[in-house]
Structure formats: structure tokens, C-alpha cells
Amino acid sequence: MMRLSLGRRFSVFYAALVYLFLYLPISILIMYSFNQSKLNAVWTGFTFDWYGKLFQNTAVLEAMKTSLTVAFINTIAATMIGTLAAVGMYRYHFRGKMALEGLVFLPIVIPEIVMGISLLALFSQLHVPLGFFTLVAAHITFSVPFVMVVVRARLAGFDKHIEEAAMDLGATPWQTFVKVTLPVIAPGVIAGALLTFTLSIDDVVISFFVAGPGSETLPLKIFSMVKFGVTPEINALSTLMLIVTLCIVFIAERIQQKNK
Amino acid sequence: MKPEVSPAAQVESSRSPRASRDLTRWWTLTPVTLWMCVLFVLPLILVLAVSFMSRTSFGGIEYSFSLDNYSRFFDSLYIKILWVSCQLAFLTTVLCLFIGYPFAYIIARSPAKYRNLLLLLVIVPFWTNSLIRTYAWIVLLRTEGVINAILLQLGLIGSPLTLLYNDMAVLIGLVYTMLPFMILPLYASIEKLDRSLLEAASDLGARPLQTFWKVTLPLTAPGIMAGTLLVFIPSLGLFFIPDLMGGSKSILIGNLIKNQFLSARDWPFGSAISIILMALTLLFIAAYVRISKDKAGKGLM
């Protein structure tokens, strides 16, 4: 009895230690975004100054705009392509299905950097200038597979007979999709959309290669700012990005929980 | 034009189920096929092709065929970078496994009502930007950073320690970024583990350690392999962690590729290294699929 409780106490202690490792750096980052001292090692007092400065920094605001626009267009396009594809893959059997599966699975597992440089090579060979357009195209490419995976997971529990019944009753495949399939998979579609939005907002590696001079995203802006040194402004910017990401993830979780 | 005459309308009015089914199939699968062929397959083929070409003196690409880029990679210098970066990625993977396994085990064995919350708490940092997570460690570790400030104030050290810009810092950054990728597949396989098997083992006289080695570990091996793959491969390519946290000598294969494309402007050589990195990745995945018999790659999603 004594041994069990000792073991349990050790378990709790160990888990707490790992959570501390996971959360301490982020917490300190957030805390110091409210610190008055620019050197940010010693706590000198509470302030919102760094957030104020951030919203006067036009380069940061510009990057924020780019990030949000790219994420928004990417989310719509990738969710549409990915959802249609997941439904198609679920409904039909055809030659080359395995090849298509591989085509969708590969981008998830190959190193991001390879995808980044290969897109850079493509755009430069086709003489497409790097910028907003290439950024959006690249983001859609790495997002589509994730939407497919999420929507497919939702489809896995879906009874094929309902679709067949609808079509037997005279619905066209398209009507069946809109009236029968889509309402059932909607939580998966929304979760997939929110996932791609966060993936797009947070992407560093692929964006690094395909962004042009006038189309810097927020993570790229942070990257170049960090290279020049640590400032409380970056802490504030990081905190804002953390909050946005966490809000989206929270909403996604709620939607998925509700529909389980 | 009367609608009945147009062939499309004829198909529509006759409502041949086969024709309209084909049309839907076309609509659902064509966009993804086209998109991935043009923006995923074609670029990879291009990189493969460029890897056999050579660099002009102006940093352009000369359209010729040679294996020079590959033979150049097997020079001592570059092979050493690959070796060092594999070592670093391996060390990252091992550390993640040692930290992550007991942790995943504890969560999987915690009361069911807390389990989802505990797991969500692991996923939350995994959803935050990896660059920001790296930056958070810089704030902690730098000379004027939080750790040094605290140690100085406590009088434990006389002058600040150099915690940043070395391999140790890169390792911390990598482990911190990759840890959730290890914990999640481990948790999935430990959670599935049938508890009665462990009871059976102990009823049959196995000591706890024996049960662990002979029952728990083999049964959770798929999770270990999936986690290893998910940590090892990205660790090789995360160029911004050595860029921001490492010293001048900390360079991963990802940094080498990045430098060939952006500063050295030797695209053919950079392409060749990318192809080698991809070949290595596919080799690992093939080994994973073979050993774990996870053909659909489900453990990796």
C-alpha cells in the first residue's frame, strides 16, 4: 500500500516536471512581454508599452496582414480541395488510388526543407516572381494533405449506405454530397480548416524559401528580428501569436468534442 | 439553342447514373491530383534533375549531366556534416524517448476523467509556433537571460555562464520542439495496451521489470517507432534552431541545404543534398512500414 502511493507520488512529480519543461519557457516569454526593462532579465515593473510599440511598427503590421491574408486564402482553398478529395477517395475505387494515396501521404512525411527548396526551384524555373502568390500556392500544397487526413478520419465512421440510399431515391451525387455527406462530415471539415489556418500562420521553413521581399509573413519577421537581437517587442509579438493560435485550437477542440 | 440538343444537357436529362457518377468522381479527385502533381511531384522531379547538373560561374545552372554533386557530397567535409547532424538528431530522438516514454505511460494510466485534459496540455505547446518556442529558450539561456540573472542574484555564480550558442543549446531547442511528436504516438500505443496482459504476466511470476521488457515494450514498439520517425526526420531539417541557438560550428544538414540555395548559390549541389536527405527519409519510412507492418502509415498521422 505504501509502495503504491510512493509510486504514484513519483508519477505525479515526474509528470509535473515534464509539464514544467513544456510550459516554463513560454510562460516566461509571456511574462517578460509585460516587463518595463528593455534588457528583460530583471523585473522592473508592469507595462503594456511593448504592445503599444508593436502596433506602431509598420513592418510588423504589414507582416501580420500578409500572414492573415495568406492563411485565409489558404484555408478556403485547401479545405475545399482536401474535403472534395477525401470524399472522392472514400466513395470511389479506381485505378491509381494507391498512387494518389502516396501523393497525399508523402508531403506529410518528407522534410519540410525539401518541399521548400523544390517549390523554390519550380518557381524560379517557371520565372514566377517570389511573393504573395508563391506563398499562397506553397501553403495550399502543404495544407491539402492535412485537411484530407482530418476529413477522412471523420468519414471513417460514416455509413456508406446513407449515401447510397440518397442516390437510390434520385439525388444526384452532388446533391448527395451537399445534403447528406457534408452535414455529417462538417465537424471534420471545420477542424481541418482550423488546422490549416494554424499551420499556415505558424509555418517557418517552407515560407522561408518562397516568400519574396515584399511578402514577409509574421514568423519570418520574427526570425529576422531575433537574428538582430532579443527585444521585449518580440516577446509581445510572440505572445499575441500564441494567443491567436491557442484560441483557434481551443475552438477546434470544442467543435470536435461536441460532435464526438 | 435548344437545351435538348446540347450533349451535356442530354447527359443531364437522361440522368445516366454512371455518367453523373463519373462526373462527380472527376470533380472530387481532379483538383487534388492536378494540384499535387504540379506543385509537389513536378518540383521534386525538377530538384532531381537539377541535382545532376552543374553550377555556372555566375551561380546559375548549366544544363549538363554528371554525378559530380553526389561524389562531392561523399567528400569528408560534407559526410562529416551529415554524420554530425545525424548524431544530433539521434541524440534528440533518444532524449525525447527517455523523457517521453515514462510521461506517456503516466498519462495513459491516469484516471480516465483527467486523461483528455492531460493530453491536451501536451498538445497545446505543440500547436504553438516552433520559432517562438525556440526564441523562448533564447530568452532563458542568453548571457543577459533569465537563468543567468537568477543565478547571479542568488550569488551562485560570479559571472554569467555561456549557455547559448553551443551544441548543448541546439540540443535543448530540438528536444523542446520535438518532444510532443514523441509523446503523442507513444501515448496512443500505451493507451491501447491491454492491462490484463500485464496482470497475466505478473500472475505467472514475472517481476515488474521483466513484464516491462517482455510484454510492455514489445507491445508498444509501434508507438516507439512512429515517435522515433516523427522526431528524427524533422530534426535533420530544422535549420533555424542551429541558426539561432547554435555556435558557428553547429550546422545541420538542413543548414547546409539552405546555404547552398541562398548564400553559396550552388543549386545543383543543394539539390543533390536534398535528394540524399529525401532518400534517407524514405529509407527510414520503408524500414518503419516493414518492421511495424503499419502499411497505411496510420501511426504517423
ipTM of the complex: 0.85
- Best of B96, B131, B133, B153 to mutate (most A CBs within 10 Å, chain A): B131
Provide, as residue numbers in chain B, all residues whose Cβ is less than 8 Å from the Cβ of A204: 129-131, 240
| Spatial CA neighbour of B250 closest among B240, B242, B258 | B242
pLDDT in tens, A126-170: 999 999 999 999 999 999 999 998 888 888 778 888 888 888 898
B118 near A CB under 8 A = yes
- Say whether pLDDT at B44 is over 90: yes
Q: How far apart are CA A243 and CA B191, in angstroms?
A: 30
The 10s digit of each residue's pLDDT in B230-248 is 899 888 888 888 888 987 6
Mutate to test the interface with A, among B39, B105, B280 (most CBs of A within 10 A): B39
pLDDT in tens, B94-147: 999 999 999 999 998 888 888 888 888 888 777 777 888 888 898 888 888 888
pLDDT of residue B175 exceeding 90 = yes
pLDDT tens figures, B252-296 = 888 889 989 888 888 999 999 999 999 988 888 888 888 776 655
Q: Is B43 in CB contact (< 8 Å) with chain A?
A: yes
Sign of CA dihedral B13, B14, B20, B21: positive
8 Å CB contact of A114 and B136: no
Q: What is the pLDDT of residue B58?
A: 73
| Each residue's pLDDT expressed in tens, for chain A with a length of 260 residues | 445 577 788 888 999 999 999 998 888 888 888 888 876 567 788 888 889 988 888 888 899 899 999 999 999 999 999 999 998 888 888 888 888 888 888 888 888 899 999 999 999 999 999 999 999 999 999 999 999 988 888 887 788 888 888 888 988 888 888 888 888 888 889 888 988 998 898 898 999 999 988 889 989 998 888 888 777 888 888 888 888 888 887 887 777 776 65
Chain A residues with CB under 8 Å of B47 CB are: 114, 117-118, 121
Interchain contact, B47 vs A114, CB within 8 Å = yes
Residue A201 CB neighbours (<10 A): 24
**Residue B7 pLDDT more than 60?**
no
Instruction: Please answer yes or no on whether B46 and A111 come within 8 Å at the CB atom.
Output: no
Model confidence, pTM = 0.84
The residues in B 212-231 lying below 8 A from A, measured between CB atoms, are 229
pLDDT recorded at residue B3? 42
Enumerate residues 69 to 98 of chain B having a beta carbon within 8 A of any beta carbon in chain A: none
Share the mean pLDDT of chain B.
83
Is A110 in contact with B131 (Cβ distance < 8 A)?
no
Q: How many CA atoms lie within 13 A of B187 on its CB side?
A: 21
Using DSSP, state whether A35 is helix, strand or coil. Answer: strand
The whole-number average pLDDT for the span B5-28 is: 57
Contact flag B47-A11 (C-beta cutoff 8 Å): no
| Residue type (1 letter), B102 | P
Pick the residue from chain B with its C-alpha nearest to A134: B39
The whole-angstrom distance between B152's CA and the closest CA on chain A is 11
